Structure 1
Amino acid sequence: MNPKHQAEREALLAAIDVVLAGPPEHWTQTAVAKRAGLHRSRLAIVHTDLNDLFKAKRAAQSSMSETERKLRDQLAMLERRVKTLRDERDRWKTAARTFVRAIQVLKIENKRLKSRTASNIRTLSPRL
């Protein structure tokens, strides 16, 4: 094997690991080739064994086990529940603020009525 091919292979192998360590939406042949500093055709046509290796590793990483699928479903359900509880909490906070304002208004009104009533009451002198 000539040194150029060996250098390309080493760069591609390193690039495969780097790309697969990233987010799944970047798991493409183009990303691997670009990371290795090569054109995509070098991976797809010249180094077909590495292309097959990349596809096999990608498939192995992207397939979810039954446990992982269940956990993801449970996580999604819990996230929906958290959102529901946050919405409910916000509604309760709004209701509490409304009640606090109503109580404050009623206290002011009660104080005003008491002061008006107190000014209307006259004291009677005791009869002897």
Structure 2
Amino acid sequence: CSVMFGHVWSCSVMFGHVWSCLSKFGHIWSCLRKCGHVWASLVMFGHVWARLGMFGQVCSCFFMFGHVQSCLAMFSRVWSCLVMCGHVWSCLVHCWASLVMFSHVWPCSVMFDHVWLCVGMFGHVWYMFG
């Protein structure tokens, strides 16, 4: 009986570990969603800023300020490079987040296998002595 109690206790401890891993996964998922909302807001701001840059170019052409137009074109090229860097950064963050989530989910799945084994052993013993 004490061995059986030890197995049951071990299973409950492993279930606690699995529950902890699942809650960590939920917290990470929530953080990633928040980061996604922030990133979407930044991208939207970038689009609005680009439209303002195009409006500035039209105004400078209309008033024939060649120097201002060239500065706005340079700024537009720099902004385009920054947006591209932002897309690359976003891809890297997404890949990293996927690896982090996998590293959290993998131990949980191993622990779930152990819990399932304990539940099976408990059912077998229950059937034998019940």
Shorter-chain TM-score range: 0.3 to 0.5
Question: Which of the pair has the greater relative contact order for Cα pairs under 8 Å at 6+ separation?
Answer: 2
Q: TM-score, normalised by structure 2?
A: 0.43
